[in-house]
């Protein structure tokens, strides 16, 4: 008990920093998993090509980058889901396994 009290000047700031880093990590992951900005950029790109602001070659180049980003988001989501399922399976004492099913993409042209 005495060692804990003496260690407070070091352990408290360390715990605060750990909390802050965990919050930053959660915010970054939430932003990384959000595909809405990428879909919005695709819509803006479509509008730009329809209005003649950019040509077809530039459109295809930007579209390919955005579609790749959507695939990366999807792959990361699937990897996180697999990790969560593996953790749940390990923690399950009764032998019951719970599965989470995500709905597929609504965007045409996505795998």
- The string of pLDDT tens digits covering residues 86-106 is 888 776 655 565 666 666 665
Q: Is the pLDDT of residue 111 over 70?
A: no
93 φ, ψ (degrees, to nearest 5): -90, -25
Q: Is the pLDDT of residue 40 over 90?
A: yes
3-state class (DSSP) for residue 73: helix
pLDDT at 38: 92
pLDDT at 60: 94
CB 56 within 8 A of CB 49: yes
| Residue spans per domain, the chain | 34-92
Q: What are the structure tokens assigned to 35, written together?
A: 């595909």
Q: What phi-psi label fits residue 99: left (phi over 0), alpha (psi between -120 and 50 degrees) or beta?
A: beta
Question: Would you place residue 110 in the very low, low, confident or very high pLDDT band (cuts 50, 70, 90)?
Answer: low
pLDDT in tens, 55-88: 999 999 999 999 999 999 999 889 988 988 888 8
| C-alpha to C-alpha distance for 18 and 49, rounded to whole angstroms | 46
pLDDT at 89: 76
């Amino acid at each position: 008990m005495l060692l804990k009290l003496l260690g407070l000047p070091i352990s408290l700031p360390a715990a605060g920093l750990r909390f802050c880093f965990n919050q930053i990590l959660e915010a970054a992951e939430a932003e990384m998993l959000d595909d809405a900005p990428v879909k919005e950029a695709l819509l803006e790109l479509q509008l730009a090509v329809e209005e003649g602001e950019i040509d077809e070659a530039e459109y295809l180049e930007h579209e390919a980058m955005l579609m790749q980003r959507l695939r990366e988001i999807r792959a990361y989501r699937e990897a996180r889901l697999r990790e969560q399922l593996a953790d749940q399976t390990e923690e399950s004492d009764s032998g019951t396994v719970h599965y989470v099913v995500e709905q597929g993409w609504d965007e045409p042209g996505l795998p």
